[in-house]
Amino acid sequence: MRRIKIFDTTLRDGEQSPGVALSPDEKVAIAKQLARLGVDIIEAGFPIASPGDFDAVRRIAEEVEGPTIAALARTAKADIERAAEAIEPAAKRRIHTFIATSPVHMEKKLRMTPDEVVERAAWAVKFARGFVDDVEFSAEDAGRSDPDFLVRIFGEAIAAGATTINIPDTVGYQVPWKFGELVGYIIENTPGAEKVDWSVHTHDDLGMATVNSLAAVRAGATQVECTVNGIGERAGNASLEEVVMALYTRRDFFEAETGINTRELYRTSQLVSRLTGMVVPPNKAVVGRNAFAHEAGIHQDGVLKARETYEIMNAETVGREAAVMVLGKHSGRHAFKKALAELGYEIKGDEELKRLFARFKEIADRKKQVSSEDLIALVEDERTRAPEMFKLLDMQVHSGLALTPVATVRVKTPDDEVTEAATGDGPVDAVYKAISRAVGLSPTLERYRIEATTGGTEALGEVMVRLRQGSVVVTGRGIAPDVVEASARAYLDALNKLVAGVGSREVVESP
């Protein structure tokens, strides 16, 4: 069995998905889960892009143990220095530097000759090696580059000290037959090929990201770059769970294995979906709601007789059938702590336990049963919430078929307690208008999404909102047994992030 490294770029390419803006706390929560999942490398971000990106990479380097922590840098001095500074605290660290190699990118975007590009790439790799022993070099838009030019630039990058060479299909143009051929040709012809890891990074513009990565593995690639749920720039990247489960399920064919703990796949998918606000389509392979559901009578009959009639993977293998654990208002601190430990949460000291337990009691008082899904939502909500500059103290809402909805809210602000009322098109609209008045902020509500943590009317409501003020985009989340309250909490969480300056985005140009 060949060992294939999984390089996760959910926090870098995935975070480039339009509309996604994760706070440093949210990125750390995802990175910790990726470490539990067993990825080999976490690409934590692009530190030169913004102070927020830098802080998140630095915190991941400080707090996340296990995987190598990588940071992205163009082939520019300032980028590489900033990347090196951000990953400095990590036990295992990598600088990932890239420059475009396709004729259209070199001529139109970089306005550099091929010779200049080769020279710049070799310089950047050498400069990065001055900071770390582990340097990855990527040829952006390799999928549309001349194979012999790739052989040349990769040979120079290896001579300059690169330890991993990445072949990205940046625009998702490749097809598996051609991509496999390209990867095979490059590995066979590049001087020094045997000294490095060969990586691929595929995009899904034609729906072929996963299969292109798998074709590359067949052709000799030893690392696959992918994202959880396949999120990423435009149509996204190769989906981590698809690549991993294809290699696992068809190990007879690929004769390759990864270091992934597949039982953590579903939970990782749920966490990434919850924090990014990117919904997982119900029919998504491996992690979609319907991926293990059987509707047709003939299929149900078959599965009841023998699972393998219609299932090529076990739901348990991807962590989908976690023991249903139910707590209630009589459950004590000990049972609560034990339930969290079984879900894989390590509680950081008495203070965190006290806070989480108080939230749990509040919910258990209003809801008969608190399921494991509710507990996961509660912990993630508590751990990723922005510091509460504004806090909801109370709210009342009146609405009905023949009534204009009216909301009154009492909000704690840094210097006062403010009560405001407003009417709206619906109860949520009325609450948002009242809160906006109370805190003196009225950003644009770009997105509102509501979901139930479990089935049934007793489920906790989980709301995600995205707000924009100028170029700053933030997302907020709230959970509560009452959906209007969950909506208010999500709105206040986003406003708190806005005032804390979390989530801004800047345009980064080519070197």
Q: Which partner, Zn ion, ligand KIV, none, binds residue 138 by CB below 5 to 8 Å per kind?
A: ligand KIV
- Among 9, 28, 3, 16, CA closest to 473: 16
In the range 173-202, which residues lie near ligand KIV by CB under 6 A?
201
Are the C-beta atoms of residues 158 and 146 closer than 8 Å to each other? no
Region 148-167 residues binding ligand KIV, contact defined as CB under 6 A: 166
d(CA 259, CA 498): 38
Decide which of ligand KIV, Zn ion, none touches 140; Cβ closer than 5 to 8 Å per partner kind: ligand KIV
Min dist. Cβ of residue 316 to ligand KIV (A): 34
Near ligand KIV in 53-82, by CB under 6 A: none
Number of residues that bind ligand KIV (CB under 6 A): 9
Token duo for residue 495: 């406003």
Q: In terms of CB distance, is 13 or 79 closer to ligand KIV?
A: 13
Q: Closer CB to Zn ion, residue 199 or residue 436?
A: 199
Picked from Zn ion, ligand KIV, none, the partner binding residue 462 (CB below 5 to 8 A depending on kind) is none
Q: Is the dihedral of CA 29, 34, 40, 43 positive or negative?
A: negative
| Partner whose binding site includes residue 174, from Zn ion, ligand KIV, none (CB under 5 to 8 Å by kind) | none
Q: How far is the CB of 41 from ligand KIV (least distance, A)?
A: 13
Q: How far is the CB of 242 from Zn ion (least distance, A)?
A: 16
Q: Kindly state the smallest distance separating residue 405's Cβ from ligand KIV, in Å.
A: 46
Provide the CA 282 distance to its chain's centre, in angstroms. 18
Give me the helix-helix angle, 427-439 and 483-500, nearest 10°.
Answer: 30
Residues 280-319 that bind ligand KIV (CB under 6 A): none
For the bound state, the minimum distance from the C-beta of residue 202 to ligand KIV, rounded and expressed in Å, comes to 8
Whether 57 contacts 86, CB under 8 Å: yes
* Contact pattern for Zn ion over residues 3 through 42, marking x by CB under 5 A: ----------x-----------------------------
Closest to ligand KIV by CB, 156 vs 374, is: 156
Q: Which of 147, 124, 145 is nearest to 136 (CA)?
A: 124
Judged by CB under 5 A, how many residues of this single chain contact Zn ion? Answer: 1
Nearest to 166 by CA among 134, 201, 203, 216: 201
Handedness of CA 429, 432, 438, 443 (dihedral sign): negative
Q: Which amino acid is at 39?
A: V
**Least spacing, CB of residue 179 vs ligand KIV, in Å:** 14
Residue in the shown chain whose Cβ atom is closest to Zn ion = 13
Nearer to ligand KIV, 140 or 374 (CB): 140
Alpha carbon separation from 10 to 15, 225, 301, 386 (Å, rounded)? 6, 9, 39, 21
Nearer to ligand KIV, 88 or 205 (CB): 205
In the bound state with Zn ion, the residue whose beta carbon lies nearer, of 13 and 79, is: 13
- Helices of type H across 112-228: 114-129, 147-159, 176-189, 209-218
> Please, what is the minimum distance in Å from the beta carbon of residue 368 to Zn ion?
46
Write the single-letter amino acid at 410.
R
Is residue 168 part of the contact set for ligand KIV (CB under 6 A)?
yes
* Shortest Å, Cβ 173 to Zn ion: 13
Sign of CA dihedral 147, 149, 152, 153: negative
Cα–Cα dist 207/281, whole Å = 14
Binding mask 357-376 for ligand KIV (x = CB under 6 A): --------------------
Q: At what angle do helices 349-366 and 333-342 cross, to 10 degrees?
A: 100
Nearer to ligand KIV, 33 or 170 (CB): 170
Query: In the chain, what is the greatest distance between 2 CA atoms, to the nearest angstrom?
Result: 77
Q: Which does 152 bind (CB under 5 to 8 A by kind): ligand KIV, Zn ion, none?
A: none
**Torsions phi, psi for 508 (to 5 deg):** -110, 130
The Cα–Cα gap between 162 and 124 comes to 10
3-state secondary structure of 477: strand
| Whether the Cβ atoms of residue 453 and residue 479 lie closer than 8 Å to each other | yes
Q: Which does 98 bind (CB under 5 to 8 A by kind): ligand KIV, Zn ion, none?
A: ligand KIV
Q: What is the DSSP string of 223-285?
A: EEEEBGGG--STT-B-BHHHHHHHHHHTHHHH-EE----GGGHHHHHHHHHHHH--PPPTT-T
Rule CB under 6 A: which of 90-149 touch ligand KIV?
Answer: 98, 138, 140
> Which residue, 46 or 360, is less far from Zn ion as judged by CB?
46
Q: What does 59 bind: Zn ion, ligand KIV, none (CB cut-off 5 to 8 Å by kind)?
A: none
Identify which of residues 138 and 268 has a Cβ nearer to ligand KIV in the complex.
Answer: 138
Binding residues for Zn ion, per CB under 5 A?
Answer: 13
Binding residues for ligand KIV, per CB under 6 A?
Answer: 13, 98, 138, 140, 166, 168, 170, 201, 203
